[in-house]
Amino acid sequence: MKLFGSYTSPFVRHCRIAVLQADLECTFVETNYEQSAEGSAAMRVPYLEHDQLKLHDSMSILRYLRELRDQRFCPTLAEYDLLLLVNTALDSTINLFLLENSGLDIASNSYTQRQARRVEQSLAYLNDVAAQGLEWNDAGIRLACFVDWAMFRQRLDFTNYPALVAWREQAQQSKEFIATAPPTA
């Protein structure tokens, strides 16, 4: 089994955590933009190959990895919905990051303004959810990967979201979360 990705992507990190948790034999193939454009129809990382199987999104990869160990992926509707909400906020944050890096003025475009509002509204909601308590399941892991990535890239201000900061601190107790941290240099 081969997992293609980068060491900084939060989507890839979540999959790497699942590989470690499941103690699966899996080769990590570091993959840049050019290689992912060749290797995946979605032109993104992560993607996974296992024998004849090819998966193009972290969600299907996670489901596959969990099922290889006879676990159900997102067994409750509440966990699934939370995972999707975290993912929506993460997608928007990363899109804004990539658009800004490509030279777009994201402050003056009406759709990127909407994306930025989506992120803030999601963070406020997720902060309330985190304050009530989270579990180290796929929704909780994705949220920790998101917050850690946003801090690593200095993309978001978490001053008003103390429960999200606390959740990231709690995540540091997971050996898989520590082992998959983005490189600092």
Ligand X SMILES: N[C@@H](CCC(=O)N[C@@H](CS)C(=O)NCC(=O)O)C(=O)O
Determine if 104 is a binding residue for ligand X (CB under 6 A): no
Count of residues engaged in binding ligand X, rule: CB under 6 A: 12
> Would you say 48 or 130 has its CB closer to ligand X?
48
The residue behind tokens 């850690």 is: 148
- Euclidean distance between CA atoms 171 and 18, whole angstroms: 14
Residues 11-40 that bind ligand X (CB under 6 A): 11, 36
Handedness of CA 164, 165, 168, 173 (dihedral sign): negative
Taking a C-beta distance cutoff of 8 angstroms, is the pair 155, 146 a contact?
no
> Would you say 46 or 140 has its CB closer to ligand X?
46
Residues 35-64 that bind ligand X (CB under 6 A): 36, 43-46, 57-59
- Euclidean distance between CA atoms 185 and 181, whole angstroms: 12
> Would you say 36 or 112 has its CB closer to ligand X?
36
Residues 6+ apart with CB under 8 A from 22: 65, 66, 68, 69
Taking a C-beta distance cutoff of 8 angstroms, is the pair 88, 122 a contact?
yes
Determine if 180 is a binding residue for ligand X (CB under 6 A): no
Taking a C-beta distance cutoff of 8 angstroms, is the pair 112, 82 a contact?
no
Please, what is the minimum distance in Å from the beta carbon of residue 108 to ligand X?
22
Please, what is the minimum distance in Å from the beta carbon of residue 61 to ligand X?
7
Please, what is the minimum distance in Å from the beta carbon of residue 103 to ligand X?
15
Host H or E run for residue 3:
strand 2-5
Determine if 94 is a binding residue for ligand X (CB under 6 A): yes
> Would you say 44 or 168 has its CB closer to ligand X?
44
The residue behind tokens 């990051």 is: 97
Window 122-151: contact mask with ligand X (x via CB under 6 A): ------------------------------
Residues lying near ligand X in the complex (CB under 6 A) are found at: 9, 11, 36, 43-46, 57-59, 94, 98
